[in-house]
């Protein structure tokens, strides 16, 4: 069974989870609203927190503004003037960081000072003072968070690393084809004109260097001599038969399929930026075959029709297992490289609501981090905001974390 199937099976075993619901059991501190199975909603669709005949309605307002707290106070379910209430809110985030909010009266509500940053996932402490009485509530409000046992995560191939600086390459994409190098191809010709008496070489035959391919009777001396293979490889052309006169044409063409390079068509707008030695990430048109090479030569002569130059990218002999002569390929040329202060692996990035995210890991818990992104390559993506340097995040198996979060139903709901 594959690692991904193993995790998919394990995720349905409750005993393996430390918890993956929106509202896990709260500690019993005789505080109000912490253990309600289904929270009450108020007139503004916010969460109602009650203590006797006093209550507050907690909302996060984000209509045309950055998310901010709007909290409404009630006594006996009737509005209380906001200037009669002193209020504070602490948001305890995964990992222990605390965001504290003070409130000022505005219109008919108390407005929090500051932005409620994404993700809106935290343990909440609310303190209200009115009429000489103090009221305290705690509750959990999670989104994009789940907890998975370490064994289950390992079985599913979930891997993580810490976010930090990385080299980000500026890439130019080009199209090309795989060709045999000049030294990987040879014409087989007769040394002296004459008649072909016998031929052992056949089209498609694999031959070794020095192997006899045909015998020729010289027209001048009437003596017989042999013609051998100048290189090892495969016979890709046969241009004569027994009884033919040799002439000066190539009787066979031999190609060594391990001697390959990629030829890319460089347009004038990119010609000044492509240099010998630059790294190139090659991929087949299907995307199944991939490897990294380097520019070995740029031919100075432009094609008359397209005005393109040819850039040759060296391929190792092992490339013959993935690429064949004549195949179309695409290449990403690294024409410049800069250091990004903070980056994550591109494969780690997932979609969550309308955001690009990675999943931060704290212990056995995983939670979304909404990212502001910069430059991007197939390997690395620059992070401009939304993630702290040094954060441990999921690099492999992220889509399985997303699937478990979707299953748990932890949603963006205030």
Looking at residues 209-226, what average pLDDT do you find? 96
With CA atoms as reference, report the closest residue to 107 among 44, 163, 150, 170: 44
Q: Are 119 and 143 in contact (CB under 8 A)?
A: yes
What pLDDT is recorded for position 21?
33
Q: Are 367 and 358 in contact (CB under 8 A)?
A: no
The rounded distance, in Å, linking the Cα atoms of 222 and 242 is 16
- Say yes or no to pLDDT of 371 above 50: yes
CA distance 66 to 72: 19
pLDDT tens track for 222-236: 999 999 999 999 999
In angstroms, the first-to-last Cα distance of the chain is 41
Give the percent of the chain with pLDDT over 70: 88
Greater model confidence, 211 or 409: 211
Task: Return the SS3 of 390.
Answer: coil
- Say what the pLDDT of residue 410 is: 53
Which H or E element spans position 98?
A: strand 98-106
pLDDT greater than 90 at residue 82: yes
252 pLDDT higher than 70: yes
- Sequence-ordered list of residues with C-beta below 8 angstroms from that of 354, at least 6 positions apart, any chain: none
Arithmetic mean of pLDDT, 316-332: 91
The pLDDT, as a whole number, for residue 302 is 65
Mean pLDDT of 293-322: 84
The b/e string for 229-251 (b: 16+ C-beta within 10 A; e otherwise) is bebebebeebebeeeeebeeebb
Looking at the predicted structure, is the pLDDT value of residue 74 above 50? Answer: yes
- Region 394-408: what's the mean pLDDT? 88
pLDDT of 337 reads: 82
Higher pLDDT, 208 or 404: 208
- In the prediction, which pLDDT does 84 show? 96
Mean pLDDT to the nearest integer, 51-63: 96
Count CA atoms closer than 13 A to 83's CA, side-chain side: 2
Judged against a pLDDT cut of 60, whether residue 12 lies above it is answered with: no
307-334 average pLDDT score: 90
Cβ burial, residue 188 (10 Å; 0-12/13-18/19+):
buried
Taking residue 9's Cβ as centre, other Cβ atoms within 10 Å add up to: 13
Show the tokens assigned to 300. Answer: 């100075």
DSSP class of residue 83?
Answer: G
Give Cβ neighbours of residue 311 (< 8 Å, ≥ 6 apart): 174, 176, 263, 264, 266, 274, 295, 297, 298, 299, 333
pLDDT at 158 over 60: yes
């Amino acid at each position: 069974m594959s690692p991904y199937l193993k995790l998919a099976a394990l995720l349905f075993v409750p005993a393996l989870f430390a918890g993956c619901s929106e509202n896990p059991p709260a500690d019993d501190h005789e505080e109000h609203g912490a253990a309600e199975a289904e929270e009450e909603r108020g007139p503004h669709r916010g969460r109602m927190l009650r203590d006797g005949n006093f209550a507050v309605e907690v909302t996060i307002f984000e209509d045309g503004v950055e998310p901010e707290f709007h909290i409404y106070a009630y006594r006996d379910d009737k509005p209380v003037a906001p200037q009669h209430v002193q209020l504070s809110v602490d948001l305890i985030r995964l990992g222990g960081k605390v965001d504290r909010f003070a409130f000022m009266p505005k219109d008919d509500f108390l407005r929090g000072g500051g932005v409620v940053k994404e993700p809106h996932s935290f343990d909440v402490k609310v303190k209200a003072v009115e009429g000489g009485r103090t009221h305290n509530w705690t509750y959990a409000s999670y989104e994009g968070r789940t907890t998975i046992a370490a064994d289950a995560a390992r079985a599913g191939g979930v891997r993580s690393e810490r976010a930090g600086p990385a080299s980000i390459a500026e890439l130019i994409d080009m199209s090309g084809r795989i060709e045999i190098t000049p030294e990987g191809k040879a014409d087989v010709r007769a040394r002296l004109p004459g008649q072909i008496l016998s031929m052992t070489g056949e089209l498609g035959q694999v031959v070794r260097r020095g192997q006899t391919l045909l015998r020729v009777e010289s027209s001048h001396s009437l003596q017989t001599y042999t013609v051998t293979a100048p290189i090892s490889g495969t016979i890709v052309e046969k241009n004569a038969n027994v009884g033919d006169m040799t002439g000066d044409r190539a009787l066979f063409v031999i190609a060594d399929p391990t001697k390959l390079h990629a030829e890319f068509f460089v347009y004038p707008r990119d010609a000044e930026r492509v240099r010998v030695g630059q790294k190139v990430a090659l991929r087949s048109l299907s995307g199944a075959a991939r490897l990294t090479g380097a520019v070995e030569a740029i031919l100075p002569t432009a094609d008359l029709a397209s005005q393109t130059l040819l850039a040759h990218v060296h391929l190792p002999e092992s490339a013959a297992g993935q690429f064949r002569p004549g195949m179309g390929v695409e290449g990403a040329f690294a024409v410049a490289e800069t250091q990004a202060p903070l980056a994550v692996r591109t494969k780690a990035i997932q979609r969550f609501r309308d955001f690009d995210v990675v999943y931060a890991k704290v212990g056995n818990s995983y939670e979304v981090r909404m990212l502001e992104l910069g430059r991007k390559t197939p390997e690395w993506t620059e992070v401009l905001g939304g993630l702290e340097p040094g954060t441990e995040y999921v690099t492999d198996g992220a889509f399985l974390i997303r699937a478990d979060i979707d299953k748990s139903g932890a949603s963006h709901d205030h």
